[in-house]
Amino acid sequence: MGDKSGDLVQGTLDMLILKTLALEPMHGYGIAVRLEQMSKGVFRLNAGSLFVAFQRLQRDGLIRSEWKATENSRRAKYYALTEQGRKRLNSETREWGRQVAAIARILEAS
């Protein structure tokens, strides 16, 4: 099975989706492909976890959705970052950086 989302640190999927959407609005498959590309194939996500995350983010008001035509003139739901989502992404990125640096320091110390 190609599901490697389990390898993701708990709670980081939301952050990654927000990051992906920071560039431009995208549809679900686009997000999945982009995440795989950017991680060089480390993260491969199954539809279930991805769409649960979409639902959650949308309910929290961090992203919004809209039906639009794709480049292949197929109908798809496009997700876009809201203002609140942008703020959340910034704060989470900062927090992530802090934590990673702290963990790195601990690991190097030993």
Residue among 73 and 110 whose Cβ is closer to other proteins:
73
For residue 107, the minimal CB distance to other proteins (Å) is 33
Q: What is the C-alpha separation between 70 and 87, in angstroms, rounded?
A: 28
DSSP letters of 87-104? HHHHHHHHHHHHHHHHHH
Residues of this chain that interact with other proteins (CB under 8 A) are 1-3, 27-29, 32-33, 44-49, 51-52, 55-56, 58-61, 74-77
What is the nearest approach in angstroms of other proteins to the Cβ of residue 70?
Answer: 8
Q: Where are the alpha helices (DSSP H) in the chain?
A: 12-23, 28-38, 47-59, 83-109
- Minimum CB separation of residue 109 from other proteins in Å reads 39
